[in-house]
A and B are shown apart, each in its own frame.
Chain A
């Protein structure tokens, strides 16, 4: 059986290497996508969850906080002044588990200095992992504070903002985009290549020729999958290399862990590709399904819109998306240096997802038709 298995892999590689469009799809697409999205995407962000640490607790400071909450830019998170004063370092935990994205810190002498006409500075902290939201949130705050200061003093703004970003201090949105793009590409290419390769063989008639050989259905699928897994990983390496070398994104965590978890993720996407090939009868159908599922995966992965901003029912739907977990894993490893323990829930989710969809497609892929 090993002979047949390695022959299958060799065959797939020969075929891919002779197909120019396929080569372009695999190797050029990630680079182009990365460059285009890395530069072009700028996103409108609303409903940033905001924690307030009001150490002044005056009428004036409350007005500022109310002004910030007035629009739908921010939604209130924790109010630092209620309950006994929360220490600021509590904020790190809030960022870590994603319950807050931003915090405004109003100093004790805020109202006094403002009345005396002196300059005053408020603090703004943001989780820089989502650089886009962080930067836009900072922009909103600056506008709101300007307007507030103008109304209160009629002078050019005496209120300064000192901002700091946790995790991604440069707030480069490419830092945020690159892991997203890499995960999207990996999803698209592996689902598409797998489903189309099997359906193409069925269309050509070579699948039937394979079916009369003694190769088992399982080995047949493994041969295909191994090839596309290798291509997928190669693709990820290229895309990450562009990200690191060209855009200068950080790579804090372990490359080996990322590679291992990418393999785990690929079991899900390759399984999906195989599954699609068992329910479609033409390459167009397979391609359409691959596109549809990739777009679904992209939109519900937290790539563009943070999952916490979605309506509750939508958040439940995102659990069906393997890319959602891999997105957390990628961002965690690249930017926060997360380890296995930090990512455990996502790893478990991917393992369950992968084994279910993979077994389902192997069962459906029968060598003999009814």
Chain B
């Protein structure tokens, strides 16, 4: 990990009509970092990610991803990032291999290069026996791995993962995270949202979002110490509960 900042946003805000989904969010992420994005459902995590990926235009604020402006250069950003959405993003009626070749071509890779990378990825993610089955029949854990393979095929500098392990059993989650560690070691920056506190522990730094705002940001260790909690989960639950009662 070095000190190069690859994601930086300042006062990012997104309003849908009168509802403010994201309110004045500022943060920065260094290259090679695994940055955890925590928060309850509806806290605004997905909206932030979609703005960073160039899928959604911010109402105000500014930001840079991989050196490109999120307001004016979304297409540049798209070449530099990988994105795995909450939803199942593979074509269910196509096999894993067909999905990989399709998305590879979408990034402009040639068939030969895709073939090499599919080999390498299926090795790393132990996907080989699942590559030629229609992806709709696959257990969710394998589908998520395939989706990860799809979003890393073009060797992105930054990987945005929105709830990548939702509904996946613990054994799968562990191997999934060890893959993320490997990718980070190789220099990729990983921006990940999660519900699971044990996963949050794996992150270099985490931020906690509540009602569109970032209310805490730091290493898991720092945050637990600051709030004098027994662990990350207690800290999170207390923090959210306190906020809710303040609002009431």
Contact = CB atoms under 8 A, between A and B. Distances in A.
A11 B91 CA distance: 9
B236 to A, nearest CB: 27
Given A205-B85, A206-B90, A7 B105 contact: yes
Given A208-B87, A214-B78, A19 B105 contact: no
A197 B213 CA distance: 37
A15 B134 CA distance: 11
B89 interface: yes
A3 interface: yes
A25 to B, nearest CB: 15
Interface of A is mostly: helix
A14 B56 CA distance: 30
A59 interface: no
Contacts of A11: 91, 94, 98, 102
Given A204-B88, A205-B89, A206-B91, A4 B54 contact: no
Contacts of B109: 3
B87 A204 contact: yes
Interface string A169-212: 00000000000000000000000000000000000111011111
A18 interface: yes
Contacts of A7: 101-102, 105-106
Contacts of A210: 106
B-side interface size class? 20 to 34
B244 to A, nearest CB: 30
A369 interface: yes
Interface in B56-93: 56-57, 74-75, 78-79, 81, 83, 85-93
Contact of A212 (B81, B88, B91, B105): B81
Contact of A368 (B54, B88, B134): B54
A213 B78 contact: yes
A14 B75 contact: no
Contact of B103 (A1, A213, A369): A213
Contacts of B56: 368-369
Contacts of B102: 7-8, 10-11
Contact of A211 (B55, B87, B93, B103): B55
Nearest to A1: B108
A15 B93 contact: yes
Interface string B110-143: 1000000000000000000000001000000000
Interface in A202-228: 204-206, 208-216
B83 A4 contact: no
A284 interface: no
A209 B101 CA distance: 14
Contacts of A14: 93-94, 98
B55 A208 contact: yes
B89 A369 contact: no
Nearest to B54: A368
B103 A208 contact: no
B53 interface: yes
Given A14-B94, A204-B92, A4 B81 contact: no
A6 interface: yes
B196 interface: no
Contacts of B75: 214, 216
Nearest to B77: A212
A212 B53 contact: yes
Contacts of A6: 105
Interface in A2-48: 3-4, 6-8, 10-11, 14-15, 18-19
Contacts of B79: 214
Contacts of B85: 205, 208-209
A84 interface: no
Contact of A206 (B74, B81, B89): B89
Most chain A beta-carbon neighbours within 10 Å: one of B57, B91, B92: B91
A120 to B, nearest CB: 71
Interface in A81-125: none
A15 B91 contact: yes
A215 B91 CA distance: 17
A212 B91 CA distance: 15
A4 B57 contact: no
A3 B93 contact: no
B180 to A, nearest CB: 19
A2 to B, nearest CB: 9
B69 to A, nearest CB: 13
A69 B121 CA distance: 82
6 contacts: A3-B108, A4-B107, A10-B102, A18-B93, A208-B89, A369-B55
Given A4-B108, A212-B55, A213-B107, 13 more contacts: A3-B109, A8-B102, A11-B91, A18-B93, A204-B89, A206-B91, A208-B55, A208-B85, A209-B83, A212-B54, A367-B55, A368-B55, A369-B57
Instruction: Please list the 6 inter-chain residue pairs (A to B) with the smallest Cβ-Cβ separation, ordered nearest first.
Output: A205-B87, A7-B105, A209-B89, A213-B106, A212-B83, A18-B93
